[in-house]
Amino acid sequence: MPHRRFLSALFLIAACAIPTWAIGQFGTANKAPVSAVVTTDQVRAELLAWAPDGVEPGKQVWVGLQLAHVPEWHTYWKNSGDSGLPTVLEWTLPAGVSAGDIAWPTPKKIPIGTLANYGYENTVVLPVPLTVSPAFGASQLTVKLKAAWLICKKECIPQEGEFALQIPVKSSTASSSGEFAATFAASPKPMAGSGSQIEVGAKSIQVALRGLPAGFQGKTLEFYPETGSVIEPAAPWQQAWQGAVWTAQVPLSAQRSESPRMMPLVLAFEKQAVRIETPVKGEWPAVAAAAVVPPALEAALKANAALGAAPTGSSTVPLGLLAALLGALLGGLILNLMPCVFPVLAIKVMSFTQEKSQAARLAGGLAYSAGVVLSFLALGALLLGLRSAGEQLGWGFHLQSPAVVAGLAVLFTLIGLNLAGLFEFGNFLPSRVASLQAKNPTVNSFLTGVLATAIASPCTAPFMGASLGFALGLPAWQALSIFAAIGIGMALPYLAASAVPAVARVLPRPGAWMVTFRQLMAFPMFATVAWLVWVLGQQSGIDGAGALLALLVLMALVLWSLTLQGRTRRIVATISIALGAIGVWAIGQNIIKPLDASELVAAPTERWQAWEPGRVEQLTAQGQSVFVDFTAAWCVTCQYNKKTTLADSAVLADIDAKKVVLLRADWTRRDPAVTAALSQLGRSGVPVYVIYKPGSAPRVLSEILSVDDVRAELARL
């Protein structure tokens, strides 16, 4: 039967779907080719080496990442200040060679509104010493580096690159000596600082440093603590000279999270800098829970970390594990109505009309349900495992990769063309594979459940946000139970139809209508492809979307040519396959090449501004209320809310009347800063809508916005 060939062919697609999720985010889509240089629109990064005496045990060998910033852009020091992230270097070295820590050059203070960061502009080299042991005996030293940096101007862009460099062992490598010499000259020199100390007070620290260089005497110095989350970088502070002793009174941070007994400090004047390991005297003030995060955010966490999708304006009710399970179950049920899932479910339900045995129907229903539930458990375990390993990921992370979005578009196009009757998978498969469904109907049902889970991924139900955010903060077994509840909810309709004979009896009898129905189900698949092409356009621009459409047309041409008969088939198929291969080679990179983040930032004249770390705190400190829309192009609910409630004239009039600043945090592509902000709010996916009022706890609104609820919340400002 045609639908049996269709389902048997989907086994192979389903077997590839979840591995694609796992590798898509971490594939080569967003990475530059491995070389000594990686260039973006904001920075040119180059791996340098300096081995003046060759590579031998006991000889000095330095490697370093040089970052040449475009004007007005900057990266960060080891203590980034109020916001930002330091550059991270991960080395791959041969046996017998080990890398030390970054010898951080002296930073500069970079004011950002009411905040201040520590970082680098123009060109900087981050040098790292290599230790060569006698065990190293290769003819050349191969150095590989994976680097990640956050580069910022008004917006912040996380970037990364992979580098490789060959260093000859017996000849000197002195071509980069000038860059390293300039870096070492600008780096802080270590000082003993005998007699120096820091004394802790209730709201500030008293710094007294002795033995500073003569060139520092009587000068106003720059002060950089290497330990973060201790002082207020942007707060005004006092410094003075008492003879040869430099003193300073520096305010403690209201969000202090560190209580060190030894504080390394860097002091600088013009091009001279020193580093002093300074002991701390006295007891640090207790760190209250509200001091770990901003007080308003702490209140929001208590109120919202375990919220369900409660209507805006109503009293909030703690979610709890049972409520989270119920929300996940409801979200899974809704997934069955999504246009990318319903056709597969409908085709599978049609198979009931071919089964006369209740036992066979029940076995198929249980196998399908097992495939769905186990797939959700596998995806949940993958997400939890990656987060525990330090990856900042949330629900929908695989759709932040253009390669995965393009792969799903190809998958849905194949299914749509098959449903429309252009080709049959069974005609292209070996007879042994094509007969798999007939011999193993239970395995067929299980793999159909895996496929249904795979293609449900872009259609996240709006009720799942709070439950998944709650899940990621629970112990592993409780978190996985929520993922299992989503799978159970999605499998329930089919399981009920297979277990209850009355449901099977009301299904229409087999007939010509099945062919028409199957062809009709192709159109929801094509509609999903259109949506995915639009999502890719948000990630890779119009060139990427156009390239994907061209490849889909070539793929359809290849499939059509394979359905021809006789000699014509061989000629046309050869030509079409060659065209398809050339197309993949010629335009494939345009599909996975992401847009620069600066191209996604709203123009200053537009109503919505781009969200960035620290922006909300800056605005609320100025007495302004803020509405933040955490969104993504691949989020269907986000786009619906954006075109309806958030575009409603009455809502916009209230926003203007209350002078609310609108910020949009775009999560279409992977952004660790947005992921961290969502995690702080107790969420793991989008949409999330938050209203910040100065002096009050942030208010997290429902994922499904209504005009009345938003207006009621605005009226409280």
Tell me: pLDDT of 66 over 90: yes
pLDDT computed for residue 356 by the predictor: 60
Q: What is the mean pLDDT of residues 458-475?
A: 55
Q: Helices 441-456 and 358-388 sit at what angle, rounded to 10 degrees? A: 40
pLDDT computed for residue 20 by the predictor: 36
User: Distance of CA 659 to CAs 228, 625, 647, 688, 710, Å?
Assistant: 35, 7, 16, 21, 15
Other beta carbons within 10 Å of 229: 16
Q: Which of 216, 226, 223, 227 is nearest to 237 (CA)?
A: 223
**Residue 158 in tokens:** 């996380």
Q: Evaluate whether 266 touches 224 at the Cβ level (below 8 Å).
A: yes
Q: Report the alpha-carbon distance of residue 61 to residue 130 in Å, rounded.
A: 5
Q: Report the alpha-carbon distance of residue 462 to residue 639 in Å, rounded.
A: 12
Q: Which of 653, 646, 621 is nearest to 631 (CA)?
A: 646
Tell me: pLDDT of 93 over 50: yes
Tell me: pLDDT of 282 over 80: yes
pLDDT band at 628 (very low <50, low <70, confident <90, very high): very high
Q: What is the mean pLDDT of residues 607-614?
A: 86
Tell me: pLDDT of 291 over 80: no
Task: Quick: pLDDT tens for 304-343.
Answer: 333 433 333 333 334 456 776 777 787 778 777 765 566 6
> Which comes out higher in pLDDT, residue 193 or 23?
193
Look over the chain and give the mean of its residue pLDDT values, rounded to a whole number.
75
Same fold yes or no, 191-281 and 601-715? no
pLDDT computed for residue 9 by the predictor: 41
Q: Report the alpha-carbon distance of residue 234 to residue 231 in Å, rounded.
A: 9
Most confident of 13-17, 123-127, 130-134: 123-127
3-class SS of residue 306: coil
Other beta carbons within 10 Å of 192: 10
Task: Quick: pLDDT tens for 15-51.
Answer: 333 333 333 333 333 344 457 899 988 999 999 988 8
Q: Report the alpha-carbon distance of residue 8 to residue 410 in Å, rounded.
A: 18
pLDDT computed for residue 6 by the predictor: 42
Looking at the DSSP assignment, which residues form a beta bridge with residue 273? Answer: 268
Tell me: pLDDT of 145 over 70: yes
Q: Report the alpha-carbon distance of residue 480 to residue 22 in Å, rounded.
A: 17
> Which comes out higher in pLDDT, residue 511 or 717?
717
Q: What percentage of the chain has pLDDT greater than the value 70?
A: 70
> Which comes out higher in pLDDT, residue 40 or 194?
40
Tell me: pLDDT of 189 over 80: yes
pLDDT computed for residue 424 by the predictor: 67
Burial group, residue 10, by CB count within 10 angstroms (0-12, 13-18, 19+): buried
- Of 68-72, 595-599, 643-647, which gets the smallest average pLDDT? 595-599
Cis peptide upstream of residue 687 (ω within 30 degrees of 0): yes
The three state secondary structure string of 223-273 is: EEECCCCCECCCCCCEEEEECCEEEEEEEECCCCCCCCCEEEEEEEECCEE
Contact residues for 238 (Cβ-Cβ < 8 A; gap 6+): 248, 249
Q: Report the alpha-carbon distance of residue 460 to residue 338 in Å, rounded.
A: 9
Tell me: pLDDT of 252 over 70: yes
Q: Report the alpha-carbon distance of residue 280 to residue 232 in Å, rounded.
A: 18
CATH 2.60.40 fits 37-187, yes or no: yes
pLDDT band at 471 (very low <50, low <70, confident <90, very high): low
Strands 222-225 and 262-269: antiparallel
Task: Quick: pLDDT tens for 550-601.
Answer: 888 888 887 787 777 766 666 776 777 777 676 666 555 555 555 554 444 4
pLDDT computed for residue 65 by the predictor: 94
> Which comes out higher in pLDDT, residue 670 or 118?
118
pLDDT computed for residue 290 by the predictor: 36
pLDDT computed for residue 45 by the predictor: 93
CATH 3.40.50 fits 191-281, yes or no: no
pLDDT computed for residue 684 by the predictor: 67
Residue matched to tokens 């002091």: 267
pLDDT computed for residue 469 by the predictor: 54
Tell me: pLDDT of 138 over 50: yes
Task: Put residue 549 in one of left, alpha, beta given phi > 0 → left and psi -120 to 50 → alpha.
Answer: alpha
pLDDT computed for residue 147 by the predictor: 92
Tell me: pLDDT of 403 over 80: no
Please state the separation of Cα 508 from the chain's center in Å. Answer: 46
Q: Report the alpha-carbon distance of residue 502 to residue 153 in Å, rounded.
A: 64
Parse the chain into domains and list their residue ranges: 2-27+329-592, 37-187, 191-281, 601-715
Q: Report the alpha-carbon distance of residue 417 to residue 26 in Å, rounded.
A: 30
Q: Among the residues of 500-521, which ranges form H helices?
A: 501-506, 513-520
Q: Which of 116, 115, 91 is nearest to 101 (CA)?
A: 91
Strands 272-281 and 189-191: parallel
Q: Please give the helix or strand (H or E) that residue 655 lies within, else none.
A: helix 649-658
Tell me: pLDDT of 230 over 60: yes
**Residue 174 in tokens:** 């002195």
pLDDT computed for residue 401 by the predictor: 67
Q: Which of 91, 108, 105 is nearest to 49 (CA)?
A: 91
Q: Which CATH class is domain 601-715?
A: alpha beta
